[in-house]
Structure 1
Amino acid sequence: MFIDESLMNKLVGFNPNRNPEDFRFVFRFGQLKNLLKTTLFSNILIFLNGFINFSENF
């Protein structure tokens, strides 16, 4: 899959001549990634906690 380098720079936030719209998009994109990461992490913790409690019953 080919990704345009300028688009990639916009996503990562390294475009030196970006306008505020791009920055707002980058910020929202980063927030979305962080939200996905934290929910995934908390789900794993809940699963591990339940698994430990389950195995303690035996």
Structure 2
Amino acid sequence: APEIAALLDPLFAARASYLRAALETIDAHWGGRDRYFREVLGLDDALRERLRERLVE
């Protein structure tokens, strides 16, 4: 139903303002995305490159 879709839209939308706020928080708390990916998410350079190849067109 359209009404339900409208209610769920914010859960699945990638709004620029949300992404910008998330990146600013990461930069402020961890000093940058590289450190966040490495220390918080546990992603080494090789895994990040594989993810980048799959996710970026």
Please indicate the TM-score interval, normalised by the length of the shorter structure.
0.3 to 0.5
TM-score relative to the length of structure 2: 0.33
| Higher RCO (C-alpha 8 Å, min separation 6) | 1
TM-score relative to the length of structure 1: 0.33
Q: Which has the larger radius of gyration?
A: 1
